[in-house]
Each structure stands twice: as structure tokens, then as C-alpha cells.
Amino acid sequence: MFVNNINPVLFHLGPFAITWYGILYASSVLIGYFIASHFLIKRKILNEKEIDEFFIYFVIAMVVGARIGSVLSEWQYYLKNPIEILITWHGGLAFHGSLVAVIIFGYWYCKTRKKDFYAIADVLVIPVALGLAIGRIGNFINVEFYGTITNLPWCVQFKGVEGCRHPVQLYESLKNFLIFGFLWYLKDKKMPKGFIFWSFIFLYGILRFFLEYLKVVPQYFLGLTWGQIWCIPMIIVSGFMLVKLFGRMK
């Protein structure tokens, strides 16, 4: 058994609290920027000026979408605490909302700038998977969600939470590291455009769906959590697209 006594606040800078969550989130964005920039320039998809413009709006879409997704998933809490909607450093950023927002933005950007959506998407999902892996460590420190009670030797006792729990935040982190490793392996292989993008969507969706069973989160419909409900269309659409792309590889 392990005890999570990590202070979410790393240090104070005057009246401002510098949190582990904020540091990890910012680090993931910065690392993602450098990885994506390297491949986008190397493959002559975007130039440096275009990359800077793209990432400014990409990050805005990512954060806004993630926050909207989180608010919708816990709307009863935010209805009672509306000011918390603006306090993003307390955590509460939902991947599915972010995914929808950045896909809409990416499609709009590529259409208006006459760029290849899949060429950009196949690159971006690689650092996104890495960033998600880093971000889940922040969730563990914040104790934003936790797993069901278990007696496994690596269970974690969270402050103020009864029983020893699955460190499901770290399971999520490991899941994303594995997805990152797989996508990194695929990046130099000859694949149809969109294959890496849809592989990310499929792997994330199916692995997240099963991990949800280990979380202590509300069930909304047919015993499914909000995350599982979002994962179902991800699995179906990406599965269909991967089968279609596999056909082109023959």
C-alpha cells in the first residue's frame, strides 16, 4: 500500500499558488509543441510562422473544449459553484471535450488555409498522447478522481478517501504512454493518411472504456459513465475508418 501525501501546491509566488497540475499541464503543452513542430517542418506540412499561429489557436481550443466538457460532465456541481468554471487550475479538464474542440478547429483551419487535415492530425496525435500521459500524473496529485477499493499491493490511500484504492489516474497515464509508444513506432511506417490519427482515437477509446470500470464516478445511462458514453462513438467511428484504411493497404 502507498499513501498519496503529495501537496498539490508546489510553491507560492506571492499571492499565486504554483501547482503541480499547472506545471505538468504547461510542460505537456510545451513538449508537444516542440515534437509537433519538428515533424511538421521536417515533412514540409507547415512552416515556422504557420506553426506558431496554429498552436496559439490549438491550445485555446484545447483548453476551452476541455473545460466545457468537464463542466457538462459535472454540471450539477458547477451549477452550484459557477465561479469554479473559470478556475481551471483546480483541475477539471475533460479530454473528450478537448478532442471535439480541436478536431473542429483543425478541420476549420485546414479548410481555410488549404492544408491537409490528416497530414497534420497524424503528427499531432503523437505528442497529444504523450501530453495526456503527463497530465494524468497531475490528476493523481490533485486526487481529481480515484479508483475502486482494492487489496492489490500497489493500491493507494488518498487523503480524505476511505479505503485503499486503484491508482486509476496512473493507469490512465500508463495507457497514454503505451499509446504514445505505439504511435511513435508507426510514425515512419508507410501508412495511408489518417491511419495514425484513427489509431489514436480507437486505442484511446477502447482502453479508456474499460478503465472506467475501475473509477468511482457517476453512471449516467445503462450503467455507463460519462467517459464511456463518449468512448462508444470514438470506437465505432475509428474502427470503421481503420477497416476502410486497412483495405487501401492491400
Give me the pLDDT at residue 90, please. Answer: 54
Cell numbers found for residue 112: 481555410
Question: Which amino acid is present at 20?
Answer: W
Whether the CB-CB separation of 54 and 123 falls below 8 Å is answered with: no
Cell numbers found for residue 104: 473542429
d(CA 103, CA 197): 11
Question: Which amino acid is present at 54?
Answer: F
Q: List the beta bridge partners of residue 157.
A: 3
Give me the pLDDT at residue 116, please. Answer: 96
**Total residue count of the chain as it appears in this document:** 250
Q: Would you give the end-to-end CA distance of the chain in angstroms? A: 50
- pTM score, two decimals? 0.89
Whether the CB-CB separation of 109 and 116 falls below 8 Å is answered with: no
What is the chain's pLDDT, residue by residue, as a tens digit (250 residues)? Answer: 788 888 888 888 888 888 888 899 889 999 999 999 999 999 999 999 999 999 999 999 988 888 887 777 666 666 676 666 666 555 566 788 889 999 999 999 999 999 999 999 999 999 999 999 998 999 899 888 889 999 999 999 998 889 999 999 999 999 999 999 999 999 999 889 999 999 999 999 999 999 999 999 888 888 899 889 999 999 999 999 999 998 766 5
Give me the pLDDT at residue 176, please. Answer: 97
Residue 84 carries which DSSP code?
G
Give me the pLDDT at residue 194, please. Answer: 95
Give me the pLDDT at residue 21, please. Answer: 85
